[in-house]
Amino acid sequence: MARQAAEAASKRGLPATVQDMNEYAPRNLAREQVLLLIVSTHGEGDPPVAAEELHQFLGSPRAPKLPDLRYAVLALGDSSYLHFCQTGRDFDERLATLGARRLLDRVECDVDYQARAATWIADALDKISTELTPVASPTTASPAAVIHAPENLAYTREHPWSAPVLASIQLNGRGSTKETYHMELDLASSGLTYEPGDALAVLATNEDPLVEEVLRAARLSDTELVALSGEELPLAAALASRRELSVLTRDVIERYALLAPQHAALRELATDAQRLQPYLYGRDVADLLSEFPVDNLTAQVLIETLRPLPSRAYSIASSLLAHPDEVHLTVGAVRYEAHGRRKHGVCSSYLADRIAVGETARVFVEHNEYFKLPADPATDIIMLGAGTGIAPFRGFVEERVELGATGRNWLLFGNPHFTTDFLYQTEWLQHLKRGGLARLDVAFSRDQAAKVYVQDRLLENSREVFSWLEGGAKLYVCGDKVRLGSAVQDALTEVVRREADLPQDEAIAYVRNLRKQRRYLEDVY
C-alpha cells in the first residue's frame, strides 16, 4: 500500500521514498517534512514487529520535537479485536504530541481496507499538492512514506489467483484427535511468487448449511436482493461469499445491539468487554440472530450489520525452488460442537471439505518480510513449531537444501501423539538422513503421563541451544501465540540464565536483544 501511495505521488510529480519502519533510523524523523504513515495493529493492540522500535522511540523521552513535520496516518486493523487500530492511534497521537501537524485526520481501516485506503491516499496527496508544493523540493529532504504493509502484488484480495488444487492429503493417522491437511495448489501460469515464510491468503466461502441457518434465524428469503459495493445480489450469495458468518465479533454485536434495543442483555454485552469475550466464544451469526431476534430485520440491514468476510492467511509450507509452480499449505481443520450446532472454521473446512482436487481456490500472497531465512546461508537456524506451526519450516528446510545453504538446521516439533500426529514425518526423516536437518527433536505431549512440549525439549538441550545462539543462530517460532510463543520465550530465557550463568534480568535482556537483532522471530497466531 505504501508503494501504491508512492506511485500515486510520483504520478502527480511528488517525489516520494518508501521506507520500511524496521530499517528506518528513528532520529531521521526530525529531518522529514511530510510523512504518510501506514501501520497495522497486532493481537492485543500491539505494534507489528517491524514497528516496535519506532513505536517505542516516539513514546520515549529521547524522541525529538517535530515542529516541521506534516503527517497523515492510515491505521489498518480488524474491528473484531478489542484494540482496533491501536497502533495507528498511538502513532497519530505521539506525532501530534511531538509537535507534528496533521495533514488529515487519521483514517482507520477494517479488513476490507482497499477502498478507504485508496481514498486516504488520494486525499493526502491532494493536501500535499495544494498546501505544501513549494516545500516538496527534490533538493531538500524528500517526503518519506514510512511504511509497514504487504508488498504490492499483481494478485490481491480484489484480484486473487484461482489456484487449481493439485492434492489434498490428510496428514494425521487413524485415530488422531487432530485433522490436518497438506494441500498443494497450482501456480502455473500465474507468475505468482513467494518466499518461505510468506503466507498465502485464501478467500473462502461459507458453507451452505450455515448460510441456511442464518437465513432461518433472520427469517429472510435467500433470493432477496441486497446492494453491496455497488452491485445487487441475492442475500444468500452475499452471505455465502461476502460476509463473515462463522465468527462473531465485537463490532457486529455493537451494530446489532443498536437494531435490537428491546434486548437489554445484548446491550449489556455490547458495552461490557469482560462479558463479551465469553459470549463470543463458540458462537456464530446464526446463534446471535436466534438468541436475540429482531422484528422487521431487512436483508439490507443484515448485510450492513455483518462484517465483510476476510481472507484467511496460512503460512506457506513449501519452497518454490523445491516445488516450482506450486504452493503448499498445512491446514488444521477447525471443528467443534457449540451451542447446539456442529461448527466448522470457515476457511479450513472450505479447504478440507468443499474444494476437491481439480477445483480452484482464490488466493493471493501476503509477504512477511520478517519471518525470513537468514540472508547468509551459513547462518544456523533453530525452528520451533507446534501443530500446523510446522508449515513454514517445511518451506525453510526445502529452500535451504535447494540452495545448498551451509548453515545447520535444527527443528523442534510438537503435537499430541507420535503415531498419528508427526506431521511430514517421512520427509523430516529423509532430511535428517541427507543432512537437510542437522538435528530433529520432537515432543508428543500426550504419549506419556507427564505432558511434554517443544519448550521442554529446548530446555533439555539448553547447552546446545545456547551454543548455537552464541554462534549466531537465528531462532524461529511458529504456532499458537499464547501457548507456544510465551512458553518458548520463558524457556529461552531459562536457557540463557542457565548456560550463561546470568541473573534473570540479564537473561531477559539477552533474549530481548535477540529479538531486536531479528534473530528471534515469531509467526504466532
- The percent helix, strand, coil of the chain (3-state, each to 5) is 40, 20, 40
Nearer to other proteins, 366 or 441 (CB): 441
To the nearest whole angstrom, how small is the minimum distance from the Cβ of residue 192 to other proteins?
A: 25
To the nearest whole angstrom, how small is the minimum distance from the Cβ of residue 180 to other proteins?
A: 10
Of the candidates 518, 525, 514, 396, the one whose C-alpha atom is nearest the C-alpha of residue 50 is 518
Nearer to other proteins, 322 or 432 (CB): 432
Asked if 111 touches other proteins (CB under 8 A), the answer is: no
User: Which one of residues 61, 130, 158, 174 is an interface residue with other proteins (CB under 8 A)?
Assistant: 174
To the nearest whole angstrom, how small is the minimum distance from the Cβ of residue 459 to other proteins?
A: 16
Asked if 426 touches other proteins (CB under 8 A), the answer is: yes
User: What whole-number distance in Å separates Cα of residue 335 and Cα of residue 181?
Assistant: 13
Contact 180, 171 (CB under 8 A): yes
User: What whole-number distance in Å separates Cα of residue 285 and Cα of residue 251?
Assistant: 12
- Residue/partner pairs of 16-20 with CB below 8 Å, 24 or more apart: 16/142, 16/143, 16/144, 16/145, 17/142, 17/143, 17/144, 17/145, 18/145, 18/147, 19/144, 19/145, 19/146, 19/147, 20/50, 20/146, 20/147, 20/148, 20/369
Nearer to other proteins, 370 or 418 (CB): 418
To the nearest whole angstrom, how small is the minimum distance from the Cβ of residue 177 to other proteins?
A: 15
- Only segment of 226-234, 263-271, 437-445, 470-478 that touches other proteins (CB under 8 A): 437-445
Nearer to other proteins, 233 or 432 (CB): 432
Asked if 298 touches other proteins (CB under 8 A), the answer is: no
Asked if 419 touches other proteins (CB under 8 A), the answer is: yes
Of the candidates 55, 57, 15, the one whose C-alpha atom is nearest the C-alpha of residue 34 is 15
User: Which one of residues 334, 440, 502, 508 is an interface residue with other proteins (CB under 8 A)?
Assistant: 440
User: What whole-number distance in Å separates Cα of residue 392 and Cα of residue 11?
Assistant: 38
DSSP summary character for residue 379? S
To the nearest whole angstrom, how small is the minimum distance from the Cβ of residue 414 to other proteins?
A: 11
User: Which one of residues 43, 59, 164, 173 is an interface residue with other proteins (CB under 8 A)?
Assistant: 173
Nearer to other proteins, 113 or 422 (CB): 422
Asked if 429 touches other proteins (CB under 8 A), the answer is: yes
Contact 286, 177 (CB under 8 A): no
To the nearest whole angstrom, how small is the minimum distance from the Cβ of residue 384 to other proteins?
A: 16
Contact 42, 48 (CB under 8 A): yes
Asked if 179 touches other proteins (CB under 8 A), the answer is: no
Q: In a 3-state reduction of DSSP, which class is residue 148?
A: coil
To the nearest whole angstrom, how small is the minimum distance from the Cβ of residue 446 to other proteins?
A: 12
To the nearest whole angstrom, how small is the minimum distance from the Cβ of residue 412 to other proteins?
A: 11
Asked if 425 touches other proteins (CB under 8 A), the answer is: yes
- Only segment of 78-86, 165-173, 202-210, 235-243 that touches other proteins (CB under 8 A): 165-173
Asked if 466 touches other proteins (CB under 8 A), the answer is: no
Contact 227, 341 (CB under 8 A): no
Residue 258 amino acid letter: L
User: Which one of residues 71, 155, 393, 424 is an interface residue with other proteins (CB under 8 A)?
Assistant: 424
User: What whole-number distance in Å separates Cα of residue 110 and Cα of residue 85?
Assistant: 8
Cα-flanking dihedrals φ and ψ of residue 193, to 5°? -130, 160
Asked if 357 touches other proteins (CB under 8 A), the answer is: no
Contact 33, 141 (CB under 8 A): yes
Q: Which residues form the interface with other proteins (CB under 8 A)?
A: 169-174, 182, 418-420, 422-429, 432, 440-442, 444, 447-448
